Chains A and B, each alone.
Chain A
Amino acid sequence: MKMPVTLNINNTTWNLDIDANATLLEVLRNNVLNQQSVHRSCEEGECGACTVLMDGKPVNSCLVMAASAQGSTIITSEGLMRGDELHPLMKAFVDELGLQCGFCTPGMVMSAYALINQWEDEELSDMDIRKAIEGNLCRCTGYVNIVNSIRRAKQAKDAGNWW
């Protein structure tokens, strides 16, 4: 069954005709939206590679029926860029080599973005960071440089370099 859905994706509103049994992941990756940073792996909400922000909160897009996302605002990691300019969080990942194969990275970035965005305290402990990314599995980095990247990004935000 086809059905209409309205989604705001990275600040653009889309009126889409989707399959009722499509997941948000499938819709984001399709030919129309082409959000290829949203990676598909387990399709069961276990790896976090498909993490996007839905109404500001990180979700596994493989576990969200696209139909139920009706009216919501979605941000993928492509949406953090300003033109060709990397978001300060992404820049921190590049500088700290917080990625190796890069497959888990866009999802990881979205969890980290949600964490830093809502974190108001000065102090952000390593365990706070680790807990925030517990749903994003990485097999390459051992997480050390990812934690370093996120800590560095927090400093960037504290210094006013953030959007």
Chain B
Amino acid sequence: MKNFVGSRALPDLVYHCPENMNALMALFDTIQGEYKIVAGCTDFIPAVRGGRWSFNDGLSLIDIKKIDELNFIKETDGIVTIGAVTPLSTIMSSDIVQKHAPGLCHAMSTMASPQVRNVGTMGGNIAMSSPAGDTVPSLLALGASVIIKGKQEEKKVALDQFFTGPGKNIMASNEVLKAIEFPALKADESVHFQKIGTRDAVIISIVSAASFLKVENGVCKAARIALGSVAPTPIRVPKAEAFLKNKPATREVLAQCAELVAREISPITDLRASADYRRDLSETLSRRTLMACLDDLNP
């Protein structure tokens, strides 16, 4: 077992700061030894200080923050695309995102602190693939995809196919997360996000939930419900989502759906909360986010 050391030194580093995607791809060919791709470093530094990550033989740090091609927010033909290294605070206050996915802006406003949001990126939050990543449930609810760039090709993968376990995802070490895209919300669609932690602010979620609801003529035409911190990865609950399909959009039906959410998941007990509480909260937060969508759509 490792010694207890209050705060560890950062490893000996070779620092790379490619200015564009071509330079980054070329770097993958030449780089020697162990390397890490970083943007905001808000996860990297604590992981090293706390001893969760150690690099005894040194490390090459590839900082992609200055690649302009990865730093943008745009909306084209009803698709919103956000570059991977766009800081959380920029997304939060973006008019485009505010207009097309206000629930996502709200989710970001509940994450970490202003200081961390000013450097932390959405791509980083996704690539870290924590089950508690707070950007993810809203993005799953929005039906987002990620665009992954490798040496040979660029591919688009649905976000719900991206995560493979805690801290794990489908990306190879010479691939980089380029952007996230999702359809802009239409007038009959809404997304809401809520989370619960032991404190209100600057807190890791015990459970987070985001719901997407599309209601036509009082009938649920589509629903997506996503949860954080209740499984090894952020997840959707397909059975509960299917239950809503073509059901009348009433509070009773949404409450029934939320009960199904709680039955569909198998959370664990850990430092932050028990499995029972997580299951219980999943129902409450699913219900509340679904109801909030309904309130938006039936003013």
Check A-B contact in the complex, CB < 8 A.
Answer: yes
Residues of A within 8 A of B (CB): 1, 3, 20-23, 43-46, 48, 51, 54, 57-60, 62-65, 67-68, 70, 111, 114, 131-132, 134-136
Q: How far is the CA of A59 from the CA of B89 in the complex (A)?
A: 11
Residues on the A chain within 8 Å of B15, using CB: 1, 3, 20, 65, 67-68
For window 213-260 of B, CB contacts with A under 8 Å fall at none
Distance, CA A45 to CA B116, complexed state (A)? 7
Given contacts A44-B46, A45-B45, contact A1 B14 (CB under 8 A): yes
What band does the interface of chain B fall in when counting residues whose beta carbon is under 8 Å from A?
20 to 34
Instruction: Find chain A residues with CB under 8 A from B45 CB.
Output: 23, 43-45, 62-63, 65
Q: Does B12 contact A (CB under 8 A)?
A: yes
Q: How far is the CB of B117 from chain A (nearest CB, A)?
A: 9
Interface centre among B50, B201, B202 (most CB of A within 10 A): B202
In the bound complex, do residue A135 and residue B114 qualify as a contact, i.e. CB atoms below 8 Å apart?
yes
Listed in ascending order, the chain B residues whose CB lies under 8 Å from chain A are 7, 9-15, 17, 38, 40-42, 45-46, 49-50, 61, 63, 65-66, 89, 112-116, 118-119, 201-202
* Contact indicator A59/B115 (Cβ below 8 Å): yes
Partner of B41, one of A20, A43, A65: A65
Q: Are the CB atoms of A45 and B42 closer together than 8 Å?
A: yes
16 contacts between A and B (CB under 8 A): A3-B15, A20-B13, A21-B9, A23-B45, A43-B45, A45-B42, A54-B118, A54-B119, A62-B45, A65-B15, A65-B38, A67-B17, A68-B15, A68-B66, A134-B114, A135-B113
A58 touches B118 (CB 8 A): yes
Q: A51 touching B115 by the CB < 8 A rule?
A: yes
Known: A44-B49, A63-B45. A23 touches B113 (CB 8 A): no
Verify A134–B201 contact, CB threshold 8 A.
yes
In the complex, besides A1-B15, A23-B45, A59-B119, 9 extra interface pairs with C-beta distance below 8 angstroms are A21-B9, A44-B49, A44-B50, A58-B118, A60-B119, A64-B41, A64-B119, A65-B45, A134-B113
B17 touches A63 (CB 8 A): no
The answer on a CB contact under 8 Å between A70 and B17 is: yes
CB pair B50 A45 closer than 8 Å: no
Which B residues are in CB contact (< 8 Å) with A114?
114
